[in-house]
């Protein structure tokens, strides 16, 4: 609160001459009475407070002083900083992330948030419009801009805390156009602050932050993952304590319904505790749970699929092959391991989804799918007859799945190995009938052969290279890496890449509800990921189930588990920020004061010239009841 | 039926005369019941009705010594007789400026003139002598003593002439009711029942003047006439109250509280006057001029106190 021209307040001194003039000017109506004798008594009693009596019941003077006060207040140009006033139109962005389930406030944060929204609806000006946007893992316009309060209230009732993280960037991206569409719009973010503030916002509107939530008594699992080590698989679980006191808890790890391990943990206040738990050889879906009665139950359980989601690729090469390693690293669904040892060293134990041999002959007893690059002589798979100098790729099987989206026609090759196409293979690309890329099935496995070293061509520099590699990996090891992401947050839309030929995908969520999807362009989009837990994904060709995999959905978010209410800076550098002294808006108040002054003067004029004094006097009498004024021709009403 | 010989002012119109006649009938009935046609004087004097004896003292008329008693007791006693005399009914009408107040029939002076006429007429009808005078306002008029109902119109003419008195009185100074009453008391012969019609709006309420009248043998009867808006004012607002009589002004914000104080003061004042008069045996009749004069007169007669 402050005034831009506080010196203007000095004009309040004008009240003195007004009062003085009034006292001088105060004309009493002359009233002849038969005798003042009887009035003496009445006058005598009053004389004690005579100075006040002169001014007491004068409405006009009162109004003049009021108008003066309002005018002076307007001249002083008062303003106030800080919480910016709500605009004529509102955009409410409501956090519906997992942390809003916290019950540290009664009955829960989301209910409080609903209350805030209702307050906003109530405060909406008569012709104002309001938009309600939810910010969860994704953002959603719950109610487009409307002045219909009933619709807004209904939308408010539909508000529900989800289980995911908070994506305010997206929510604000929705809010920005909504705010710009209408003038004088305030964006009100109702949240517990449990989100990573977006670095900048492009909202050209006042942004206001309303915080819900009080305390942060929460113990949560913020990380859970399996990994393979030389000694076997193990599960890593991180439990974080966001509260202010040290907490003891019991971490239990289940394989299905079987308890694998129970471990007592002590987590210091604000600290964390990591646990590594060795896993038996074959485990399915692991469930890690802590028993912690706290404000947020959502993060007390995490599900992990043992072995991860990625296919494992063993790469054996004669020497370092940067192109191949880089190319494989780009494949999202595989993890590449390099074989120990040199050229034809025996492949280590363990099942790999794909074996890649670069200039090295694969072992004869290998049973997995093989990608053979630059095959040496006597490789056991394909007969090598010599070399080809500068072969030009003249033909390719364009409709083969491995060449989908791949154009090899411009690839320059310095030298390739001349091979004979075996019966089981088809030539995907050839140079005048001499195959350069072959694929086929032999010995119960899929094999692909690239007859030239990557380093001896410009293939790795072309756009076709990563696509070709992905196609080959996908074809050779279809089971490797189901395409399921490692971690899925609740509320996120999961994109499942269906294998070619798959015409149906069913997904069973943890509650047992099964949904069936038909892949569109080889992709299934699964949005119903609100419930954390394991989701079973089954792929069908016709009625035949060809693959079953598991998708786990976990909160596993420090931001959401940390339910401590915060007031984040939103777009500290952008226009219309909420916090920070520099960006606080200054709200000048002279306008209402001026309007009030004009209004008061109008009333005074009306009273003075239109004889409104009587009716107003009667009004005042009704108002106070202590100063009844009888009027001629009216039955006197005594105050009760 | 009393026919007005000439048009008089609006105060004494035909309706008034009819009321007066009816009043007289009622008054006669009342009087016959109460007074049996004649009036006794409280004085002892020469008449045929024996009243008392007293011892002779030198200077007494020897003719009135009761010789029979002297023969029996050898002491000279004087026989006293009830003196029979013409009673003079005095009617004093306050015509000070404060009486020039009120609206229509409630105008205090109009009311007072009518009441004075009525009282005078009833007195005349009762074979009393009537002395009418106006006091206050610096102008004093006295009618010659009137006798018999034939004098009614002289009474009315006199009262008609008083019409302008109150208005004509200079506002400064005001009416000194007390001194006017005292002067009347000093001048008036044949003291008797004295009707004072006044608003008594003077400091002291005319108590001193009434005491002077009583001291000269008058029997005051006070008709305290106040206008309705004096009894219950309807003023409101920022007022400068100007005294009709003295011209002095008082400033007052009249609101309900002030009105309450006014009513309280009025009640106190009237109670004080009533107590004062009752203590001296003077009938005191506070009236509102909203009440028709004939009702007041009848009421007064019925109560007996006024008619004497």
What's chain A's length in residues? 640
Q: Do A31 and B264 touch (CB under 8 A)?
A: no
* Both tokens assigned to B264: 């309280």
Instruction: Test A35 with B199 for CB contact under 8 angstroms.
Output: yes
pLDDT at B224 (0 to 100)? 92
Tell which residue, B229, B235, B266, has the closest CA to residue A630: B235
Which site among A34, A47, A48 would you substitute to test the B interface, given the most B Cβ atoms closer than 10 Å to its Cβ? A34
Asked if A50 has any chain B CB less than 8 Å from its own CB, the reply is no
Instruction: Give A-chain residues touching B199 at CB under 8 angstroms.
Output: 34-35
- Summarised one tens digit per residue, pLDDT across range A134-155 is 888 778 888 888 888 889 999 8
How many degrees, rounded to 5, is the angle at CA A555 between CA A241 and CA A224?
70
Closest residue in B to A637 (Cα) is B256
**Number of neighbouring beta carbons within 10 Å of residue B30:** 16
| Mean pLDDT, rounded, for B278-283 | 88
Calculate how close chain A gets to B17, using CA atoms only, in Å. 29
Nearest CB neighbour to A42, from listed B237, B252, B269: B252
Which of the pair, B140 or A519, is modelled with greater confidence? Answer: A519
Q: In angstroms, what is the C-alpha Rg of chain A?
A: 40
Percent of chain B whose pLDDT exceeds 90:
4
Confidence of residue B45 (pLDDT cuts 50, 70, 90): low
Measured distance CA(B306)–CA(B197) in Å, rounded: 12
Q: Are B245 and B174 in contact (CB under 8 A)?
A: yes
Q: Do B256 and A27 touch (CB under 8 A)?
A: no
Contacts of B145 (CB under 8 A, 6+ apart): B88, B129, B130, B131
What SS3 class is residue B287?
Answer: strand
CB B301 within 8 A of CB B119: no
- Order the strands of the A247-255 sheet from edge to edge: A258-267, A247-255, A285-290, A301-305
Could you tell me the pTM of the whole model?
Answer: 0.41
* Domains identified in chain A and CATH numbers: 2-81+591-624 (no CATH), 89-214+565-585 (3.40.50.410), 311-476 (3.40.50.880), 494-553 (2.60.40)
Q: To the nearest whole angstrom, how far is the Cα of B235 from the nearest Cα of chain A?
A: 8
End-to-end Cα separation, chain A, in angstroms: 44
For residue B11, pLDDT over 80 is answered with no
Nearest chain A residue (CA) to B248: A36
Contacts of A37 in chain B (CB under 8 A): 201-203, 243
From chain B, the residues in CB contact with A45 under 8 A are 261
Question: ipTM exceeding 0.90?
Answer: no
Alpha-carbon distance of A58 to A69, in angstroms, equals 17
CA dihedral A171, A173, A177, A182 (to 10 degrees): 40
A127 touches B: beta carbon within 8 Å: no
The list of chain A residues with pLDDT below 70 reads: 1-2, 4, 24-27, 44-58, 80-86, 194-204, 228-232, 281-283, 306-310, 332, 340-351, 478-487, 499-500, 566-588, 609-640
A625 touches chain B (CB under 8 A): no
Cβ contact, residue pair B236, A41, below 8 Å: no
A520 lies within 8 A of chain B by CB = no
Chain B neighbors of A56, CB-CB under 8 A: 253
DSSP states along B230-284: HHS----EEEEEEETTT--EEEEEE-HHHHHHHHHHHHHHHHHHHHHHHHTT--E
User: Residue A334, SS3?
Assistant: strand
Surface-to-core class of residue B92, CB atoms within 10 Å of its CB (0-12 exposed, 13-18 middle, 19+ buried) = buried
Tokens of A600: 């008061």
Could you tell me if A611 lies within 8 Å of chain B, comparing CB atoms? Answer: no
How deeply is A633 buried, as exposed, middle or buried, from its count of CB atoms within 10 A (0-12, 13-18, 19+)? exposed
The first and second tokens of residue A391, run together, are 């072969």
Q: Which of B265, B267, B271 to mutate to test the interface with A (most CBs of A within 10 A)?
A: B265
Taking CA–CA distances from B234, the nearest residue in chain A reads A632
Q: Can you give the residue ranges of every domain in chain B?
A: 10-36+87-226+277-303, 44-82
pLDDT number for residue A581? 32
Contact A41 B261 (CB under 8 A): yes
Minimal C-alpha gap between A124 and chain B (Å): 45
Q: How many residues does chain B have?
A: 308
Using only C-alpha atoms, chain B has a radius of gyration, in whole angstroms, of: 22
Instruction: Report yes or no: A317 and A358 within 8 Å, Cβ to Cβ.
Output: yes
Distance CA A168, CA A138 (A): 8
Q: What is the pLDDT of residue A230?
A: 60
A117 near A92, Cβ under 8 Å? Answer: yes
Q: How many CA atoms lie within 13 A of A625 on its CB side?
A: 2
**pLDDT for the residue A617:** 58
CB contact under 8 A, A34 and B244: yes
Residue ranges of chain B whose CB lies within 8 Å of a chain A CB: 98-99, 101, 108, 199, 201-203, 227, 230, 233-246, 248-256, 258-259, 261-262, 264-266, 268-269
Between 3.40.50.150, 3.40.50.360, 3.20.20.410, 3.40.50.410, what CATH number should domain B10-36+87-226+277-303 receive?
3.40.50.410
CA distance A570 to A197: 6
Burial class (CB in 10 A: 0-12, 13-18, 19+), A459: buried
A-B contacts at Cβ under 8 angstroms: 107
Taking only the tens place, the pLDDT of each residue in B104-130 is 888 888 898 888 888 888 888 877 788
Q: What is the pLDDT of residue A359?
A: 85
The reported pLDDT for the residue numbered B275 is 92
Of B201, B240, B264, the CB nearest to A34: B201
Pick the more confident residue, A596 or B141.
A596
Chain A partners of B198 at a C-beta cutoff of 8 Å? Answer: none
CB A409 within 8 A of CB A451: no
A53 touches chain B (CB under 8 A): yes
Cβ <8 Å between B265 and A35: no
Contact A45 B261 (CB under 8 A): yes
User: Chain B residue closest to A43 (CA)?
Assistant: B252
Q: pLDDT tier at B272 (50, 70, 90 boundaries)?
A: very high
Q: With contacts defined as CB-CB under 8 Å, which chain B residues touch A29? A: 237-240
Contact in structure between A571 and A207 (CB atoms under 8 Å): yes
What's the longest Cα–Cα distance across chain B?
A: 85
Contacting residues of A for B288, CB less than 8 Å apart: none
Q: What is the pLDDT of residues A69-102, one digit of tens each?
A: 888 888 887 776 554 456 778 888 888 888 888 8
Quote the pLDDT of residue A212: 81
Q: Which residues of A touch B265 (CB under 8 A)?
A: 38-42
Report whether A91 contacts A178 (CB < 8 A). Answer: yes
Please check whether residue A144 touches B, CB under 8 A: no
Strand partners, A497: A523
- Comparing CA positions, the residue from A472, A432, A477 lying closest to residue A449 is A472
Cβ-nearest to B240 among A30, A53, A630: A30
Q: Is A628 on the interface with B (CB under 8 A)?
A: yes
Q: How many CB atoms lie within 10 A of CB A122?
A: 9
| Inter-chain touch B261–A28, beta carbons under 8 Å | no
Q: What band does B142 get if pLDDT is binned at 50, 70 and 90?
A: confident
**Cα-based angle B211, B213, B219 (whole degrees, multiple of 5):** 100
* Shortest alpha-carbon distance between residue A67 and chain B (Å): 23
């Amino acid at each position: 609160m402050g005034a831009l021209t506080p010196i203007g307040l000095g004009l309040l001194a004008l009240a003195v001459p007004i009062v003085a003039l009034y006292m001088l000017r105060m004309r009493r109506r002359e009233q002849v009475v038969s005798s003042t004798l009887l009035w003496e008594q009445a006058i005598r009693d009053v004389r004690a407070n005579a100075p006040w009596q002169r001014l007491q019941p004068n409405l006009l003077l009162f109004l003049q002083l009021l108008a003066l006060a309002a005018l002076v207040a307007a001249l002083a140009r008062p303003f106030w900083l800080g919480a910016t006033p709500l605009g004529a139109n509102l955009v409410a962005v409501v956090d519906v992330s997992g942390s809003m389930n916290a019950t540290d406030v009664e009955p829960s944060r989301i209910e409080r948030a609903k209350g805030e929204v209702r307050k906003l609806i109530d405060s909406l000006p008569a012709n104002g419009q309001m938009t309600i946007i939810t910010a969860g893992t994704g953002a959603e316009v719950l109610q487009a801009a409307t002045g219909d309060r009933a619709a807004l209230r209904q939308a408010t009732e539909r508000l529900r805390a989800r289980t995911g993280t908070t994506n305010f960037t997206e929510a604000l991206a929705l809010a920005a156009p909504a705010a710009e569409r209408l003038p004088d719009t305030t964006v009100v973010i109702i949240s517990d602050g449990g989100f990573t503030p977006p670095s900048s916002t492009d909202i050209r509107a006042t942004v206001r932050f309303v915080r819900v939530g009080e305390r942060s008594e929460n113990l949560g699992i913020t990380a859970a993952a399996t990994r393979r080590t030389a000694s076997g698989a193990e599960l890593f679980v991180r439990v974080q304590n966001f509260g202010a006191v040290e907490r003891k808890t019991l971490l239990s790890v289940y394989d299905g319904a079987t308890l694998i391990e129970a471990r007592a943990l002590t987590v210091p206040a604000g600290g964390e505790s990591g646990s590594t738990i060795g896993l038996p050889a074959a485990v399915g879906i692991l469930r890690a749970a802590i028993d912690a009665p706290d404000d947020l139950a959502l993060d007390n359980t995490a599900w992990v699929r043992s072995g991860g989601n990625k296919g494992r690729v063993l790469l054996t090469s004669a020497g370092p092959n940067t192109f191949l390693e880089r190319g494989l690293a780009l494949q999202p669904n595989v993890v590449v391991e390099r074989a120990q040892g040199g050229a034809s060293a025996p492949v280590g134990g363990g099942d790999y989804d794909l074996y890649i041999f670069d200039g090295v002959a694969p072992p004869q007893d290998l049973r997995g799918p093989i990608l053979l690059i630059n095959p040496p002589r006597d490789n056991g798979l394909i007969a090598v007859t010599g070399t080809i100098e500068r072969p030009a790729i003249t033909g390719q099987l364009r409709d083969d799945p491995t060449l989908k989206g791949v154009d090899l026609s411009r690839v320059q090759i310095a030298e390739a190995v001349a091979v004979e196409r075996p019966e089981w293979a088809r030539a995907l690309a050839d140079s005048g009938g001499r195959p350069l890329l072959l694929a086929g099935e032999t010995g119960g496995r899929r094999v692909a052969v690239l007859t030239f070293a990557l380093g001896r061509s410009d293939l790795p520099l072309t756009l076709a290279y990563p696509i070709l590699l992905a196609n080959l990996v996908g074809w050779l090891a279809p089971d490797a890496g189901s395409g399921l992401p490692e971690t899925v947050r609740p509320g996120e839309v999961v994109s499942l890449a269906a294998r070619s030929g798959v015409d149906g995908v069913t997904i069973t969520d943890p509650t047992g509800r099964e949904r069936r999807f038909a892949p569109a362009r080889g992709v299934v989009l699964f949005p119903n990921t609100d419930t954390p837990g394991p989701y079973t994904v089954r792929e069908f060709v016709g009625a035949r189930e060809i693959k079953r995999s598991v998708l786990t959905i976990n909160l596993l978010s420090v931001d959401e588990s940390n339910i401590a209410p915060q007031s984040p800076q939103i777009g500290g550098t952008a226009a219309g920020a909420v916090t920070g002294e520099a960006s606080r808006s200054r709200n000048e108040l002279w306008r209402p004061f001026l309007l009030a002054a004009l209004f008061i003067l109008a009333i005074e004029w009306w009273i003075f010239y239109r004889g409104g004094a009587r009716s107003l006097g009667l009004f005042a009498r009704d108002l106070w009841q202590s100063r009844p004024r009888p009027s001629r021709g009216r039955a006197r009403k005594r105050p009760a | 039926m009393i026919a007005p010989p000439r048009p008089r002012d609006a105060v004494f119109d035909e309706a008034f005369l009819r009321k007066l006649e009816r009043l007289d009938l009622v008054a006669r009935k009342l009087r016959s019941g109460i007074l049996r046609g004649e009036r006794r004087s409280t004085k002892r004097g020469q008449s045929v009705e024996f009243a008392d004896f007293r011892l002779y003292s030198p200077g007494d008329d020897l003719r009135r010594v009761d010789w029979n008693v002297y023969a029996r007791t050898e002491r000279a006693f004087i026989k006293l007789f009830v003196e029979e005399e013409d009673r003079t009914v005095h009617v004093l009408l306050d015509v000070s400026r404060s009486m020039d107040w009120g609206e229509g029939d409630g105008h205090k002076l109009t009311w007072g003139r009518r009441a004075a006429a009525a009282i005078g007429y009833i007195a005349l009808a009762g074979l009393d002598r009537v002395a009418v005078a106006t006091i206050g306002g610096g102008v004093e008029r006295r009618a010659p003593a009137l006798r018999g109902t034939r004098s009614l119109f002289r009474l009315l003419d006199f009262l008609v002439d008083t019409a302008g008195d109150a208005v004509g009185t200079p506002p400064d100074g005001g009416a000194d009711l007390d001194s006017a009453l005292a002067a009347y008391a000093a001048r008036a012969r044949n003291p008797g029942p004295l009707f004072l019609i006044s608003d008594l709006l003077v400091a002291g309420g005319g108590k001193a003047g009434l005491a002077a009248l009583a001291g000269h043998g008058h029997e005051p009867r006070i008709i305290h006439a106040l206008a309705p808006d004096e009894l219950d004012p309807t003023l409101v607002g920022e007022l400068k109250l100007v005294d009709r009589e003295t011209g002095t002004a008082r400033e007052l914000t009249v609101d309900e509280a002030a009105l309450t104080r006014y009513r309280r003061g009025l009640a106190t004042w009237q109670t004080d006057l009533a107590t004062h008069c009752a203590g001296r045996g003077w009938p005191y009749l506070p009236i509102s001029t909203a009440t028709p004069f004939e009702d007041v007169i009848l009421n007064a007669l019925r109560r007996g106190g006024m008619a004497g």
